[in-house]
Amino acid sequence: MTETGGPRAGQDRPTGPTEADSRNHSEHDALQEAVEPGDEPEDDAVDEDEAAPGGRLRRRLRRNRNRPPRKRLSEMLDEMAADENRPRISIGDLMAAMSGRAIGALLLIFAFPNVFPTPPGTSGLLGLPLVYLAAQMMLGRIPWLPPFIANRSMTREDFSATMTRATPILARAERLLKPRLTALVSRRGEQVLGVLVLVLALVVMLPIPLGNMLPAFAICLIALGVLEKDGLWAAIGALLGLVSLVIVSGVVWAMAKAALFVLANAF
């Protein structure tokens, strides 16, 4: 048999790249070089993220990573104290500057002075705003204070001198705070805490010698927990608040018995 003149069966298709394949690869490489990394259309990437499992969560995490860190209360107070465009700083200014965190910040501001011995009558003046704020916290409402409280102000120089002493202490406390046990400081959790804070605020207003210091300190711990979403600190503050109520009730009962004894022996 004689061989035919065509190519063999194993030689029907060339094993190496053809001229057309080389041209296609060259065009593809040119397109890749023309499009720099990060210049690709974002819509396709968003669609792929949304379609992929957990894509929405990845997008949210990416946005949170690019978001600037939230300022702490001590930083915001220092900035207000250094703002020379403010001749006076009112309680309303503090509420506006702290926005969504106003309830925790104001509770801390009004409760903190009562942690230390103060002149008679001070606890009553500072306790009234605490009652207003605690009632709104209990009801889950946006913090509001009547004008005769919100319009109270001090000069920037006096505010700056106060913050110079207070913010270093606050900054040290803030370094210990971090988001944890957030269910305790959720919206519902804050409303439950608001009931306890309201009772503690009423106790702070009572004219009991040194009897308002422990309840005020408990309010400060709860306020810091609410501010930084730290449920552990809020829980510690709540426990301390319950203990303080037991102690104060014992003091009130002892004072009442002493008063009755004096009256009984006087007549």
The per-residue pLDDT for 57 is: 53
pLDDT of amino acid 95? 80
Q: How many domains does the chain have?
A: 1
Question: Where in 24-125 does DSSP place strands (E)?
Answer: 88-90
Question: Who contacts 230 (Cβ-Cβ below 8 Å, separation ≥6)?
Answer: 177, 178, 179, 180, 181, 185, 224
Does residue 86 sit within a domain? Answer: yes
Q: Is residue 8 part of a domain?
A: no
Model confidence pLDDT, tens digit, residues 118-164: 776 677 777 888 898 899 899 888 878 888 888 888 888 888 888 88
pLDDT for the residue numbered 3: 46
Is 6 inside any structural domain? no
Q: Is 92 exposed, middle or buried (0-12, 13-18, 19+ CB in 10 A)?
A: middle
Q: Determine the residue type at 43.
A: D
Higher pLDDT, residue 219 or 145: 219
Determine, yes or no, domain membership for 137: yes
CA separation for the pair 220, 114 (Å, rounded): 10
Instruction: Please give the Cα distance from 134 to 192 (Å, whole number).
Output: 10
pLDDT bin (cut points 50, 70, 90) of residue 67 is low
> Within a domain: residue 9?
no
Categorize the per-residue pLDDT at 65 as very low, low, confident or very high, splitting at 50, 70 and 90: low
Per the domain annotation, does 247 fall within a domain? yes
Most confidently predicted of 58-67, 98-107, 117-126, 214-223: 214-223
Q: Of all residues in the chain, what percent carry a pLDDT higher than 70? A: 71
How many CB atoms within 10 Å of residue 10?
7
Six token digits for residue 200: 């503690």
Residues in contact with 83: Cβ distance below 8 Å, sequence separation at least 6, in sequence order: 156
**How far from 239 is each of 197, 200, 246, CA to CA, in Å?**
12, 12, 11
Residue 22 in domain: no
pLDDT at 240 over 90: yes
Q: Is residue 3 part of a domain?
A: no
Tell me what pLDDT residue 34 has: 45
Per-residue exposure over 71-88, b if at least 16 CB sit within 10 Å of its own CB, e if not: ebbbebbbebbeeeeeee
Q: Please give the pLDDT value at position 66.
A: 52
**Per-residue confidence at 33, pLDDT binned at 50, 70, 90?**
very low
Q: What is the pLDDT of residue 117?
A: 76
Q: Is the pLDDT of residue 196 over 70?
A: yes
User: Does the pLDDT value for residue 76 go beyond 80?
Assistant: yes
Domain range for residue 256?
73-264
* Rounded alpha-carbon distances, angstroms, from residue 257 to 58, 162, 208, 264: 65, 41, 15, 10
